[in-house]
Amino acid sequence: MTTWQYQFKIAPYNAGQSVKALWIKWLIPKRIRGALRIKRHFTVNGKVVPTSYFLATNDILVMTFDQDDFRTSNSNYRPNHSQKVTTLFENDYLVVVDKPAGMKMHPHSPTEDDTLLNYIAGDFQRRHLEVAPYMVHRIDRATSGAVIIAKTPLVVPILDQLLAAKAITRTYLAWVSGVMPTNQGIIETPIGIDTQDDRKRAVNGTNAQLAVTHWTNIHTVYQNSLLRIRLDTGRMHQIRVHLASIGHPIVGDDLYGGRRHMPRLMLHSATIELPLPFDGGVKTITGPLPDDFPRQLR
């Protein structure tokens, strides 16, 4: 059985609170906290203590996790060494990588291995890291840019909670058709499945869910506008659907009406701002614009 063990030195700002309170602060789910307590899989300074134990500065907290502590413990992505993916940020718990446009996020069958998760698994193996990739969120195959990948199953539900609480900010750049009527705006129409094509999504479609997209116009060139976009939610095709719904489809988006001939969809995940798990502070991660995403659209 695979196990994971983590050791933390208690910082002054965490001193004086109980082990349980620290776990809650760190967003460790109740189910996992219960497993730690019942199995007595944690120690402070090498000793088994109750969860009510009050921590002191420089105490050493060690936590051990089993596979059955997690809803998804195994990462079964086949390592592929044929492509290297650019890393924008990495620590012991997660990595933020720069996905090229045209690369799939994850495989749809056990034999498929030409996706981002496969290439990351190959990178971890090449570097002899005893970790594995776990998907936290996704961007479309046609979209480029920053994506968060967890390196341990413990971090997945923590990042899920941060996403749900809107504590992780994702900013995109997009070239859209037309001149925007104002400098900024918010699109709040729900998104569901397109009734005519289940590959697509549509505003107020079947099983529609809340979707909120903020946009700011950076500049307009030749009747096309470059927008900075921030998401409050993460629905499938959200940016593409929302912008098309207001008459400004993304350039190069044949699926949603952006039929200008371009080599790719003009949508790029530019920046991710996230609180790093376990008191790591807030990190803003920005990658360079890819060569196939023009600064000026002609």
Which residues are known catalytic residues? Answer: 140
Q: How far is CA 71 from CA 64, 76, 131, 152, 246, in A?
A: 16, 14, 17, 12, 40
Instruction: Please identify which residue in the block is written with the tokens 């994702």.
Output: 170
The answer to whether 155 and 163 are in contact (CB under 8 A) is no
Contact 117, 77 (CB under 8 A): yes
| CB distance 287 to 145 below 8 Å | yes
Q: Residue 140: what residue type? A: D
Nearest to 156 by CA among 73, 237, 98: 73
- Secondary element (H or E) of residue 288: none
At 175, the amino acid letter reads W
